[in-house]
Amino acid sequence: MVELDAKTIEIVKSTIPALAGTGSKLTQHFYARMLGNNPELKNVFNEANQRSNAQSEALFGAVCAYAQNIDNLAPLLPAVEKIAQKHCSLNIKPEQYSIVGENLLATIDELLAPPKEVIDAWAAAYGVLADIFIQREKEIYDQSASVEGGWRGLREFKITEIVPQSNVISSFKLEPVDAKPVAKYEPGQYLSIHIEHPSLKNQCIRQYSLTTEPNGQYYRIAVKREELGSVSSLLHNTFKVGDTINVYPPHGDFFFNSTKDLDTNTPVTLISGGVGQTPMLSMLHGLKENGHQGKVTWLHSARDAQSLAFEKEVVETGSTLPGFSSHTFLTKPSPSSGCPFATKIHEGIMDIQKVLANQLKDTNVHYYFCGPVPFMQAVAKQLTENGVAVSNIHYEVFGPHRVI
């Protein structure tokens, strides 16, 4: 890898105030420019994230973080891994980095009109970062293709089962058309679904969490019907058992054994809101498969009893683990709210202190959570305010990553 000289580092770091001053205007301009010049990339980027500016905000944060840490990239490595995994789930190719670099440099030039030495410094800096991603992504691609049941690129699967799990979530069982084994995955990882349909302006790629333990024969994902979700609406309303769908291999950096401190006796708490329970469910199955001996606690928040999904499966899987307990919070309960399974029902928003007062004092517990961003921000706040170390907190954001 080419190392940047001191002068280049100094110039890049000196541009931080100017970059910060643009807010996300810089990355909004970048995406509009790049997708205008290279419309084929609309087949890669999620249009909903473009509309909400979530993608541009995530990129802006990444650009600023890179500039701030350009002389010491070690703090960025976790973010690099997360982004590289997502890139591989989209089948990003090395040559696409040239397109990104060209448009990023042109955007800086068009918005900030800096001296040529600034553009040259950013060109060198971007080249180093691109090489890091290209190298790591090659490793991920090679690994995905080399494991038993693995592959590179798209593979055709048949939908063999669709099960409504709640009034908004359905699970889809996918079996390979070639009837060959499928690659194992880490509990908490996701599968990328590639959709082409006459109702869509562009091909779409969406990631959905895997929801069972690896079995080598099939995958199961869960999809929430989103009001404005073009792909989720197709899956719920149009696709049926027997239809085929193209799939990329499993990816993702969020899984329950992602820290060296987590062994079979480590207490684990899985926390979720809404469809954020899907990676948690896979983790719960993984804990069962690994014969986990530590205490496992399941906390879930849903709107009402009708939107609860996988409750029976959670309780049955948890019952095989020693010391398992589960709590469900219903934010808008009805008089008939309840659960026929062995879980404790609470009304209102999730109050971790209320149900885990004693556990929060145990410094060995690891917490994994997923759900809507405001929900996760509230969870993180409750945990840190109760003294939980940041190193024991792990989370996944659906969509572009952001720091909670």
Q: What pLDDT does residue 397 have?
A: 83
Distance CA 214, CA 289 (A): 9
| CA atoms within a 13 Å half-sphere pointing along the CA-CB vector of 246 | 13
207: β partners: 192
> Is residue 1 in a domain?
no
* pLDDT tens, residue by residue, 117-129: 999 999 999 999 9
Residues 244 and 339 in one domain: no
Of 221, 251, 281, the residue that ends a domain is 251
% of the chain exceeding 90 in pLDDT: 66
* pLDDT tens, residue by residue, 300-331: 999 988 889 999 999 999 999 988 999 999 98
Q: What pLDDT does residue 351 have?
A: 93
Residues 275 and 180 in one domain: no
Q: What pLDDT does residue 337 have?
A: 57
Residues 340 and 297 in one domain: yes
Q: Show Cβ contacts of residue 255 under 8 Å, excluding neighbours closer than 6 positions.
A: 186, 187, 188, 189, 283, 286
Distance CA 379, CA 385 (A): 10
Q: Which domain holds residue 286?
A: 268-396
DSSP 8-state assignment for residue 114: -
394: β partners: 368
**For residue 384, what is the enclosing H or E element?**
helix 373-385
* pLDDT tens, residue by residue, 94-140: 999 999 999 999 999 999 999 999 999 999 999 999 999 999 999 99
Residues 171 and 123 in one domain: no
Which pLDDT band, with edges at 50, 70 and 90, does 185 fall under? very high
Residues 232 and 327 in one domain: no
Residues 287 and 377 in one domain: yes
In this predicted structure, the answer to whether residue 263 has a pLDDT above a threshold of 70 is yes
How do beta strands 155-164 and 169-176 pair?
Answer: antiparallel
Q: Tell me the helices (H) and strands (E) count for the chain, helix number first.
A: 13, 12
> Is residue 81 in a domain?
yes
- Count Cβ atoms within 10 A of the Cβ of residue 83 and give its class: 0-12 exposed, 13-18 middle, 19 or more buried: buried
Residues 136 and 162 in one domain: no
Determine the 3-state secondary structure of 79 from DSSP: helix
Residue written as tokens 């840190």? 384
> Is residue 256 in a domain?
no
Question: Phi then psi for 362, rounded to 5 degrees?
Answer: -85, 115
Q: What pLDDT does residue 201 have?
A: 84
> Is residue 282 in a domain?
yes
Distance CA 363, CA 96 (A): 44
Taking alpha carbons only, the member of 60, 63, 61, 66 closest to residue 4 is 66
Number of domains, the chain: 3
Distance CA 391, CA 113 (A): 42
**For residue 203, what is the enclosing H or E element?**
none
Q: Which amino acids are annotated catalytic?
A: 97, 137
Distance CA 211, CA 173 (A): 10
What is the SS3 assignment for 306-345? HHCCCHHHHHHHHCCCCCCEEEEEECCCCCCCCCCCCCEE
Cα 10 to the center of its chain, rounded Å: 34
Contact 308, 328 (CB under 8 A): yes
Of 85, 113, 146, the residue that ends a domain is 146
**For residue 250, what is the enclosing H or E element?**
strand 244-251
Q: What pLDDT does residue 33 have?
A: 93
> Is residue 260 in a domain?
no
Contact 28, 111 (CB under 8 A): no
Q: What's this model's pTM, rounded to 2 decimal places? A: 0.89
> Is residue 385 in a domain?
yes
> Is residue 261 in a domain?
no
Residues 161 and 126 in one domain: no
> Is residue 258 in a domain?
no
Which pLDDT band, with edges at 50, 70 and 90, does 258 fall under? very low
Average pLDDT, integer, range 203-219 = 94
Residues 123 and 63 in one domain: yes
Residue written as tokens 């929801």? 211
Q: What is the mean pLDDT of the chain?
A: 89
Residues 300 and 245 in one domain: no
